[in-house]
Amino acid sequence: MISYIGYTGKEVPVNGNANVSIALEESATGLNEVVVTALGITRAEKKIGYATQKMDVEVIEEINAPNVGNLFTGQVAGLTVSNPTGLFQKPSFSLRGKSPLIVIDGIAVETDFYDVSANNIANINVLKGTTASALYGSRGRNGAILITTKNAKVDGLEISVSHNTMVSAGFTVFPETQSEYGNGSNGKYEFWDGKDGGISDGDMIWGPKFEPGVMVSQWNSPILDNVSGETIPWWGDVYGTQYDDKSRYSRVPTPWEYHDNLKDFMGTGYISSTDFSISNKSEKGSFRLSGNYSDQKDRVPNSGLKTGGLTFKSTTKLSNSLTLDSKLSYNKVYSPNYPRHGYGPKNHMYTILIWMGDDVNGKELKEHMYIPGQEGYRQANYNYAWYNNVYFAANELNQKYDADLINAQMLLKYDIAEGLTLQARGSAVMQDIFEDRQSPKTYLNYGDAREGDYKTWNSKRLTIDYDILTSYAKSLTEDISFDINAGASTFYRKYQQEYNSTDGLVVPFVYSLNNTSGNIAGTNYYEERATNSVYATLGIDLYDAVFLTAAARNDWSSTLPKENRSYFYPSVSLSTVVSNYVTMPKALDYLKLYGSWAKVSSDLNPYSISSYYTNSGVFGGNIKLQYPNGLVNSNIEPESSNSFEIGLSSAFLQNRIGLDLTYYNVVDTNQIIDLPISNTSGFENRKVNGNEYTTNGFEVVLNAKPIVMDDFSWNVTANWSRQVKKITEIYDNNSTYNNLKLNDRADSYYATVWQKSGNGDLILGTNGMPIRDSYPQLLGHNDPSWTLGLQNSFKYKKLTVNIGIDGVWGGLMRSLTVEKMWWGGKHPYSTEFRDAEYAAGQPVYVPKGVHVTSGELVQDVNGEVISDTREYAQNTTAVSWQSWSQQYPYRAAVTYKENKKFANIFDRSFFKLRTLSFKYDFTELANINGVQNLDVTFSGYNLLAWKKADIIDPDFGNDNNLQDPSTRYLGIGINVKF
Amino acid sequence: MKKIAILFSLTVLMVLTGCQDLTDLNENPNNVSQTHPQLLLTNIASNAFSVDGTSSLYATRILVQTDGENNNQYYSWDRASFDNYNMLGEVTKMMQEAERIESNEYIALAKFFRAYYFYNLTLTFGDVPYSEALMGEIEEKYLPKYDTQKELFVGILKELAEANDLLEGNITIIAGDIIYGGETGKWQKLVNSFRLKVLMTLSKKEGDADLNIKSAFANIFNNQPIMESNEDNGQLVFLDEEGSRYSEFNSSSYGSGMYMSSTFIERLQDRQDPRLFIYSGQTKNAKEAGLAIDDFTAYEGGDPLAPYAEVNDKAAAGDVSKVNLRYTTDPTTEPHNLMGYWELQFILSEASVRGWITTNAKEHYENGVKSSFSFYNDFAKNYESYVEPADADAYLLGTKVAFDNALSTEVKLELILTQKYLTSFLQSGWRSYFDHLRTGYPAFSQLPGATPPTRWMYPNSEYLNNTENVSAAIERQFGAGNDKIREIPWWLN
C-alpha cells in the first residue's frame, strides 16, 4: 500500500521487484488543489506562501439570506461581517481589521452584493494578507475576496432550475419595552395639538398607567360640541378647522389601553429566489447562460426589494492555441420603496420603538392617515412636534432605488509555445442608478420643509480595466522549475451625479419637479481617476519542497501630486513542505511552513491635493460658498503598509485533522491622516503623512472529520482569530492623536462619563443629579477580543445537514436605543419607581452616590490631578425618577460594570446559530427520466442568538442609529438538474 | 496567425491609449479654488446675522425646559466650542479674495466680521488666540498662542476703526450683500455703532489709560456716522425660499418641553408691556377660558429655579405659556438683529448716564423703546395693533418704565438695561447675559448662594491639539488647572 498525502492511495503488488515505479493519481481534494490568487492566476495550494481560505459555497447556495454577504459570516478566520437587520442595509466586511477588495472573475468591482446572484458563485477564496493582493495595487491593499462564477462543468448540455423561499418566523432579537405606561410626562397626559398644547402631548412616554377605567382625551377621541352636544368622530389635531376653539369644542376621553404596536406594525416578510442555468461544454468550448430573480418583501409595510439578472459566460477555442473567454451580465436592483433608517423621524423604529407610547392605537393610525377632509394635506397623528404617523410615513412617503448594472468582460489567451502564454483582458462595468424621494405634505423631517417635496438623484458609474499578462513556466531539471508572469494594466473610473429638488409642492400627490411651489434646487458632480500599472512575478520551485514567489508592482495614480504619483509594491513569499524532506511522526501526514513579506501603498480620492470652495446653498438668490475645514497638502505621499506573516499548514491522522496557524504583523506607516490642529488656525485638520499603526494578529483554522463512515460522516471546521491594532508612533512625536495616546489600541473607546470620587462613587450635585466629567475617559476597546466561526456538516445517506455558528467575544458597544429608551420612558426598567412617586406626590428615589461637602479637584489640561481636597457625604436626597432616568443612563456613558440596570455601554459578545440546512437528495427516490439531480432543502437563517447586551442585536455592528428587530427566517428550496 | 497578430496589436494599443494624462484627470471640474468675495460674504453674513439658538434664553431666564435638565438654565455648563474660528476661517478667505481684487469694501467687511466673531469669542472664554490665529494656510501656523483679553479688545477696536476708514466715502455697491442691499454707508453706520457697543462692554475698564474708553466713545459718537433709525438696523430679513427662511421655522424643539420663564413674563406684566403677546403664547387654561390676546393674566411662566419636573407639573396643569407660535409657523417671522437701532440707543443712554457723552439719556432711552415697538409693529403679523406708536408713548409713562434724568445712576442703569433685556427675545444672541455679568442688571433670580457663571471652559480640542498654549493661557489668567466657569476674566475685573 502506497499512499501519499494529496494522492489517492494505490495498492501495487511488489512481487519482489527492487525498484517499483508508481504513478500516484492526484486525489480530487487535497494539497494540489489549486487556489485562485491575484489576477486570476491559479497556484497549487502547497506553493502559496501566505494565508488564504476558501468559503463553503454549499451553504451560500442552500440558504437564501437577505444578502449573499451575510453568509460570509463566520466562514473565514479574520473576516468579520456586520449584519444590519433592515431591508437593503448591506453587510459590511472587515478583513484583519480593514476593508477588503471584492473581485469577481478577476476584475475588482464595487458591489454591495445585491447585484450578485448566490447561485452563480462557483467558489470564493479569501486572500488575507497584503502579499496576495500586491498585484491589485492600492485597491487590494487590504486583502481580497475573490469570487469565481460558474462555468459549464460537465460535457454536454446541462439545465438546472432552482427555487428557494424563506419566510420570516418571529424574531431572533426583539427589543423589549415597558408596556405599562403611555404618552405624557410625570404620569399625566391629554391630547390637544400634539405639541404641548394639551397636557404633555408634545413628547415623552412618562404618562398615565394603562389601567381599566382610565379615560383620557386622545388623538383619536371624538370631538364634543359643547353647544349642540353633538360628537364628531375625529383623528389627529384640529389645527385650521372650526374645532380649534377650546371654549366650544373638547375631545371626549376614551379608554387608555395598551397596544402591541411594534409587533402589529412588523408584518410577514419573505425572500424568494428563482434561478436557472443552461450550460454546454464541448471540445470547441463551452457556455453557460444563467438567470435569477429574487423578491424580498420586508416586514415594514410597503417596502420591498427585487433583484434579477442574466449572465452569459463562454469559452471558445478559436484555434488550438487561442482561447476567448467572454462574459456579459446584466443585473437590476429595484426597490419601489425601502424603509428609512437612522435616528430621526423618517425611521419607523424611531417612532414606534422609542417615541410613541403604546396608548396610541396603531390600527387607527393605519386606517386614518389623514385628518378627516384633509386627504393629501395634513396627516392624522398623536404628535405634531417631533414625529410622523408611522403608517403615514411608511405608506405615503416613497423612495425608489432603480439600478442597472452591466458587466462586460473579455479575455483572450494565446498559448504561444510550450509554457508560454500571453493574455489580454478588458472589462467594463457600468452602473446607472435612479433614486427619488416623494414626501407628502406635513411629512416631518427636522430641517426640511413640510409642504411636500420631491427629490431625484441620477448617478452613473463606469469602471474600465484593461490588462495584458504574459506567463512563462519551465522546468530546468526534474527538481527545479520556475514561472514568470509579467503584465501591465490600466484602471479608469468615472462617477457622475445629478440631484434636483423641489421647494414645496403645489398639488398633493403629484411628485414631479414641475409641481414645485418655489425654485428648483439642483447640483451635479463629476469625478474621474485612473491608475496605470506594471507588474511581474517570479516563482521558483525547488525539489517539490521549497517554493519561492516574488512579486513587484508599480502604480502611477492620477490622484497624487505628479512627483509622488509613482509607487512601488514589492512582495516575497516562501513556502516549504517540510513533510516532503523530513521524516515526520506517523500521525503527521503533512506539514507546510510559510512566510511572507509585502509592502503596499495607497493613494487619495480625486481632487484632494488642492482646496476648492464648495457651494453651501443660497440665500435670497445669492450663492453661498465656503472653504473646506481641512488643509490640503500638495506634497502628500502615498501611504504604505509593511506586512509580515508566518504560518503553518498541517494534516494529521490520515487527513482526519487539518490545522492551519497564521501569525501576522502589519505596520502601517506614512499614513495619510487628517491631523487635528487647533481650529484657531482657521482649519480643523491638515493632511499629512504620519502616524504608525502596528497590528498583530493570530488566526487558527481547524478542520476535523471526527466521524467518517460509509453512511454517516461529520465534518467540522472552526475558525478563530484575534487581532490588536495599536498606534505605535504619532505624527511629530506628539503625545496624543485625537483622544489616543501612544501605544493605545487604535479602537480605544473614550467617552464622556459621570464624575466619580476617588473611591469610584458617583458624585451627585446639590439637586441629586450626577455631573459630567469634562475629560473623556477610556472605557475599553470597540473591536472584539476574538471571533469564532464553526461550520458543521453531517451526512447521513442522502441527507446532508449543515450548521453554521459564529460569534465574537469582548469589545464594547454603545447602545443609542437603550439611551433613548431611558430618556423617552420606554425602557423596561423605567417603570420601577413611577407608581410610588405618583402615589407619594413627591420624589421617592434616592440615588446611590455622594455629595462633595468641601474642597475641590484641580486638573491640568491632560486631566492629571493637580490637587484633590474633596470631602464627601452620602446622598440622601430623593430625586424625580423621571428626571434621573432622563439624565444618568442617557447623558453620559454608563458601563455594565458601573451599573447593570442603567448601563448604556455593553459587552459586544454574542454567538449566533446563523445557518441551518437539511438537504435531501431525492434523485434516486424520484427516479424521473432525464433528471440527473433533484434535491430539496429545508433551511433557516439567523435562528438563535446568545448575547450579553440588553435589548439590541450586537451582530448589527453598532447601535448608533437604531436597529430593526432581528428577523428569523425559515425556508424551503428545490434544485433540479436535467 | 495573422488574425491573431492583429487582434493582439489592437488589444495592446487599447491598453496603451488607456494610459491617460494623469495630471489633467485630477483637475476638479466641479468647484473653483478662487472666487469673488461676494459669494463668501453671503455665507458669512447669513451665519453671523441668523438667530443664535435658544441657549442664551435659558441662561437669561426667558425660557425654561421641562423635559430634561438644561445646563444653561441651571448654570451647570462646562465647555463651549471654538466653532466661531471656523467662520473666522471663511472671513480670512474673504479678506484674501478681497485683497486679490483690491476691493476696500470687502476688506472693510472682513475686518468687521473678524471684530464681531473675536468679540464673541473673548467674552465667552477670556484669552483666546488672536494675533497668531487664522494663519494655518498662509503661514503654516497650526498652534497659535493665546492673546490676553485686553490685547483682543485693542485689536477689535483697531480693526473696526480701520473698517470705518476703508468705508469712509466709499460708494461702491457691495454685491452679495443680504443685509443692506449693497449700501456701503449703512455698513459704515453699523461698524461705528458696533464700536460703541464694544466700548460699552468695557465699562468696567473706564479707568484704563491705554484704552481711554470714555474719549474713544465720545469721539466716535461725535464724529462718525452711526445708525439713525430702524432703517439702519444690522438685521437679516428672511424670505420664504429654501435656505432663506427664518432660523426657527418648523423647529421641533419649540413643540415640547420649552416654556416661558415666570421671571420674564412677570417683568413684562409688571410693566404692562404689550410685547408679551408677541413673544409668548397664552396658557392652556387661559386659551380654554377664551381670554383675549391682550389680557395680561392670560400669560404665565415656569419657575427657572425649580426642579424641571415641578415646572412640568405646572405646565401639565395648563398654567405655563409656550413661546408664541409665530416663531415656528411663519417662514419669515421677523428679521434677526445682530445689532438694532434700539440697542444703540440703550448704549447711548447708558453712556450718557455714565457721563461719557453729554446728551439726554432719557431721549435715547425712549428712542430705544419706541424703535423696539416700531420693529414689532412692522413685523409681528396680526399683533401690529398692540404696538402702535401711541402704545409706546403710553408704555413709557408706566411706573416701572418711566425714565427721569433726575433718578440715581443705579436706578437709571437698571431701567436702561432692563429695557435692553426686554428686546432680546430671540434677538442678538448672548448680549443680555453679558450685560448682566457686566452691570448686574436686570437681576436674575438665583438659588441661594449661586452665581451666574462668568465664562466657559476651553474646548477639549484645544486641550488635545494646542495643549501648551491653552495651559499657559489658563495659568496666566486663573492659575494652573483653574479653567473653571466662575473664574473672572479681565473684562469683568
pLDDT, tens digit, 9 for 90 and up, residues B427-442: 999 999 999 999 999 9
Cβ–Cβ < 8 Å for A609, A533: no
B136–A683 CB contact, under 8 Å: yes
Cell numbers of A199, please? 397636557
Best of A454, A619, A730 to disrupt the B interface by mutation (most B CBs within 10 Å)? A619
The whole-number average pLDDT for the span A693-713 is 95
B471–A861 CB contact, under 8 Å: yes
Instruction: Please state which of the ranges A445-459, A788-802, B3-17 shows the lowest mean pLDDT.
Output: B3-17
Question: For residue range A727-769, what is the model confidence (pLDDT) as tens digits?
Answer: 999 999 988 898 999 999 999 999 999 999 988 999 999 889 9
Largest Cα span, chain A: 121
The whole-number average pLDDT for the span B156-176 is 96
A196–B315 CB contact, under 8 Å: yes
Task: Work out the pLDDT band at A17, boundaries 50, 70, 90.
Answer: very low
The whole-number average pLDDT for the span B169-193 is 96
- The span from the CA of A80 to the CA of A807, in Å, is 9
| CB proximity under 8 Å: B 85-144 to A | 85-86, 88-90, 92-93, 128-129, 133-137, 141-144
- The span from the CA of A814 to the CA of A820, in Å, is 12
Cell numbers of A402, please? 432603480
The whole-number average pLDDT for the span A446-463 is 93
pLDDT of residue B10: 62
Q: A167 at the B interface (CB within 8 A)?
A: no
Mean pLDDT of all residues belonging to chain A: 92
- The span from the CA of B157 to the CA of B150, in Å, is 11
Best of B312, B321, B336, B457 to disrupt the A interface by mutation (most A CBs within 10 Å)? B312
- The span from the CA of A799 to the CA of A260, in Å, is 41
Task: Work out the pLDDT band at B419, boundaries 50, 70, 90.
Answer: very high
Q: B322 at the A interface (CB within 8 A)?
A: yes
Q: Is 50 exceeded by the pLDDT of residue A472?
A: yes
Share of chain B above pLDDT 90, in %: 89
Helix (H, G, I), strand (E, B) or coil at B308: helix
| CB proximity under 8 Å: A 186-205 to B | 186, 188, 192, 194-200, 202-204
Out of A449, A450, A776, closest to residue B242 by CB: A449
Q: B46 at the A interface (CB within 8 A)?
A: yes
Cell numbers of B258, please? 420649552
Out of B33, B76, B471, closest to residue A611 by CB: B33
pLDDT of residue B125: 98
- The span from the CA of A824 to the CA of A835, in Å, is 17
CA-CA-CA-CA torsion sign (A760, A763, A769, A771): negative
- The span from the CA of A227 to the CA of A89, in Å, is 54
pLDDT of residue A12: 44
Q: How many CB atoms lie within 10 A of CB A848?
A: 10
| CB proximity under 8 Å: A 587-616 to B | 606-607, 609-616
Q: Is 70 exceeded by the pLDDT of residue A7?
A: no
Q: Smallest Cα–Cα separation from A61: which of A122, A119, A116?
A: A119
* Distances in whole angstroms, Cα of residue A754 to Cα of each of A47, A834, A892, B23, B303: 56, 24, 6, 53, 27
A627–B308 CB contact, under 8 Å: no
Q: B360 at the A interface (CB within 8 A)?
A: no
Q: Does domain A41-171 have CATH number 2.60.40.1510?
A: no
Cα angle A626, A630, A635; round to 5: 120
Question: Using alpha carbons only, how large is chain B's radius of gyration in Å?
Answer: 26
B26–A559 CB contact, under 8 Å: yes
Q: Is 50 exceeded by the pLDDT of residue B455?
A: yes
- The span from the CA of A798 to the CA of A711, in Å, is 9
Best of A559, A674, A858, A861 to disrupt the B interface by mutation (most B CBs within 10 Å)? A861
Best of B140, B179, B246, B256 to disrupt the A interface by mutation (most A CBs within 10 Å)? B256
Pairing of strands A630-631, A685-690: parallel
Instruction: State the nearest Cα–Cα gap between B108 and chain A, in angstroms.
Output: 19
Kind and range of the H or E element at B195? helix B184-201
pLDDT of residue A930: 87
Return the higher-pLDDT residue of A738 and B364.
Answer: B364
Q: B37 at the A interface (CB within 8 A)?
A: no
Question: For residue range B261-282, what is the model confidence (pLDDT) as tens digits?
Answer: 999 999 999 999 999 999 999 9
Domain ranges of chain A: 1-30, 41-171
Question: For residue range A251-289, what is the model confidence (pLDDT) as tens digits?
Answer: 999 999 999 999 999 999 999 999 999 999 998 899 999
Q: A8 at the B interface (CB within 8 A)?
A: no
> DSSP E strands: which ranges in B250-332?
258-260
Helix (H, G, I), strand (E, B) or coil at A636: coil
* Distances in whole angstroms, Cα of residue B91 to Cα of each of A733, B112, B117: 32, 10, 10
Instruction: State the nearest Cα–Cα gap between B249 and chain A, in angstroms.
Output: 9
Task: Work out the pLDDT band at A1, boundaries 50, 70, 90.
Answer: very low
- The span from the CA of B244 to the CA of B335, in Å, is 11
Q: Is A700 exposed, middle or buried (0-12, 13-18, 19+ CB in 10 A)?
A: middle
Question: For residue range A874-897, what is the model confidence (pLDDT) as tens digits?
Answer: 999 999 999 999 999 999 999 999
Q: A759 at the B interface (CB within 8 A)?
A: no
Question: For residue range A317-343, what is the model confidence (pLDDT) as tens digits?
Answer: 988 899 999 999 999 999 999 999 999
Q: Smallest Cα–Cα separation from A900: which of A946, A948, A851, A945?
A: A948
Q: B329 at the A interface (CB within 8 A)?
A: no
Q: A530 at the B interface (CB within 8 A)?
A: yes
- The span from the CA of A937 to the CA of A929, in Å, is 21
Q: A677 at the B interface (CB within 8 A)?
A: yes
Helix (H, G, I), strand (E, B) or coil at A588: strand
A738–B255 CB contact, under 8 Å: no
Q: Name, in order, each residue with C-beta under 8 angstroms of A841's C-beta and a sequence gap of 6 or more.
A: none
Out of B14, B23, B464, closest to residue A736 by CB: B464
Domain ranges of chain B: 54-79+242-455
Nearest residue of chain A to residue B136 (CA atoms) = A681
Three-class HEC string of A643-712: EEEEEEEEEECCCCEEEEEEEEEEEEECEEEEEECCHHHCCCEEEEEECEEEEEEEEEEEEEEEEECCCE
* Distances in whole angstroms, Cα of residue B172 to Cα of each of A112, B105, B169, B177: 56, 7, 9, 12
pLDDT of residue B298: 97
Pairing of strands A156-173, A966-977: antiparallel
Share of chain B above pLDDT 70, in %: 96
Out of A186, A557, A683, closest to residue B313 by CB: A186
CA-CA-CA-CA torsion sign (A502, A503, A506, A507): positive
Mean pLDDT of all residues belonging to chain B: 94
pLDDT of residue A544: 87
Share of chain A above pLDDT 70, in %: 96
* Distances in whole angstroms, Cα of residue B486 to Cα of each of B78, B125, B193: 10, 11, 30
Task: Work out the pLDDT band at A25, boundaries 50, 70, 90.
Answer: very low
Best of B464, B466, B477 to disrupt the A interface by mutation (most A CBs within 10 Å)? B464
Q: Smallest Cα–Cα separation from A149: which of A115, A181, A177, A172?
A: A115
Question: Using alpha carbons only, how large is chain A's radius of gyration in Å?
Answer: 32
Cell numbers of B366, please? 425712549
Out of A412, A466, A862, closest to residue B7 by CB: A412
Cα angle A956, A961, A967; round to 5: 40
Contacts of B92 in chain A (CB under 8 A): 682
pLDDT of residue A134: 66
- Kindly report the CATH number that applies to the domain delimited by B54-79+242-455: 1.20.120.840
Task: Work out the pLDDT band at A830, boundaries 50, 70, 90.
Answer: very high
- Which residue has cell 451580465? A329
Q: Is B288 exposed, middle or buried (0-12, 13-18, 19+ CB in 10 A)?
A: middle
Question: For residue range A28-50, what is the model confidence (pLDDT) as tens digits?
Answer: 334 457 777 766 677 788 888 88
Question: For residue range A190-245, what is the model confidence (pLDDT) as tens digits?
Answer: 999 999 989 999 999 999 999 999 999 999 999 999 999 999 999 999 999 999 98
- The span from the CA of A778 to the CA of A768, in Å, is 26
Q: B241 at the A interface (CB within 8 A)?
A: yes
Length of chain B: 493
Q: A776 at the B interface (CB within 8 A)?
A: yes
Q: What is the ipTM of this complex?
A: 0.92
- The span from the CA of B280 to the CA of B263, in Å, is 13
Q: Is A1 exposed, middle or buried (0-12, 13-18, 19+ CB in 10 A)?
A: exposed
| CB proximity under 8 Å: A 845-874 to B | 858-862, 866-867
| CB proximity under 8 Å: B 166-225 to A | 176, 178
- The span from the CA of B215 to the CA of A966, in Å, is 73
Instruction: Please state which of the ranges A44-53, A841-850, B97-106, B248-257 shows the lowest mean pLDDT.
Output: A44-53
Q: B487 at the A interface (CB within 8 A)?
A: no
A609–B26 CB contact, under 8 Å: yes
pLDDT of residue A5: 39
- The span from the CA of A88 to the CA of A186, in Å, is 39
The whole-number average pLDDT for the span A710-731 is 96
Indicate the residue type of B362: K
Q: How many CB atoms lie within 10 A of CB B151?
A: 15
* Distances in whole angstroms, Cα of residue B300 to Cα of each of A414, A533, B199: 90, 75, 37
Best of B13, B25, B236 to disrupt the A interface by mutation (most A CBs within 10 Å)? B25
The whole-number average pLDDT for the span A539-562 is 91
Return the higher-pLDDT residue of A721 and A46.
Answer: A721
Q: Is the peptide bond before B442 cis (omega within 30 degrees of 0)?
A: yes
Instruction: State the nearest Cα–Cα gap between B353 and chain A, in angstroms.
Output: 38
| CB proximity under 8 Å: A 312-341 to B | 319, 322
Contacts of A859 in chain B (CB under 8 A): 481
Three-class HEC string of A252-295: CCEECCCCCHHHHHCCCCEEEEEEEEEEEEECCEEEEEEEEEEE
pLDDT of residue A548: 94
Q: A489 at the B interface (CB within 8 A)?
A: yes
Nearest residue of chain A to residue B238 (CA atoms) = A620
Share of chain A above pLDDT 90, in %: 82
Contacts of A887 in chain B (CB under 8 A): 68-69
Cβ–Cβ < 8 Å for A54, A75: no
Chain A with chain B: Cβ pairs closer than 8 A? 307
Q: Is 60 exceeded by the pLDDT of residue A4?
A: no
The whole-number average pLDDT for the span A679-685 is 96
Q: A444 at the B interface (CB within 8 A)?
A: yes
Q: B472 at the A interface (CB within 8 A)?
A: no
Helix (H, G, I), strand (E, B) or coil at B80: coil
Q: Is 80 exceeded by the pLDDT of residue B232?
A: yes
- The span from the CA of A844 to the CA of A836, in Å, is 7
Out of A184, A386, A519, closest to residue B241 by CB: A519
The whole-number average pLDDT for the span A368-396 is 96
Query: Distance between the two ends of chain A, CA-based, in angstroms?
Result: 40
CA-CA-CA-CA torsion sign (A666, A671, A674, A675): positive
A185–B467 CB contact, under 8 Å: no
